[in-house]
């Protein structure tokens, strides 16, 4: 689904599937819904860690924010790819054509 190499890791996609010829880039703004999926994944993975560090372990705010920013920077490429794949699966479930 994604191009090989660094560009693919950053979200560059192939125009079609080499196996089934499914068109990935259907229209402008098609993956806007994947943005919401990516946001939800970020909230559900980063927020609990930040709350644990701040409330349970009583770290100061600067340290908690530094960990949250680092965690965000490391997870964004993974979440971008996963959310686009998930969005295609949801769309294909509702409209298989």
Q: What is the pLDDT of residues 50-86, one digit of tens each?
A: 999 999 999 999 999 999 999 999 999 889 999 999 9
Examine the pLDDT at 97 and tell me if it is beyond 80.
no
In a domain, 80, yes or no: yes
In a domain, 53, yes or no: yes
Examine the pLDDT at 96 and tell me if it is beyond 90.
no
Examine the pLDDT at 7 and tell me if it is beyond 90.
no
Q: What percent of the chain has pLDDT over 70?
A: 99
Please state the domain count of the chain. Answer: 1
In order of 31, 57, 92, the CA distances from 47 in angstroms are: 24, 14, 30
**Residues 6 or more apart in contact with residue 24 via CB below 8 angstroms:** 1, 13, 14, 15, 16, 17, 88
Enclosing domain of residue 36: 30-94
Q: What is the pLDDT of residue 36?
A: 93
């Amino acid at each position: 689904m994604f191009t090989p190499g660094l560009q693919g890791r950053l979200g560059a996609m192939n125009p079609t599937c080499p196996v089934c010829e499914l068109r990935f880039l259907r229209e402008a703004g098609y993956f806007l819904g994947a943005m919401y999926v990516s946001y939800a994944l970020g909230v559900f993975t980063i927020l609990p860690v930040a709350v644990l560090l701040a409330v349970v372990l009583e770290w100061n705010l600067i340290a908690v924010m530094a960990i949250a920013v680092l965690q965000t920077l490391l997870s964004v490429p993974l979440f971008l790819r996963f959310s686009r794949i998930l969005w295609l699966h949801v769309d294909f479930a509702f409209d298989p054509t």
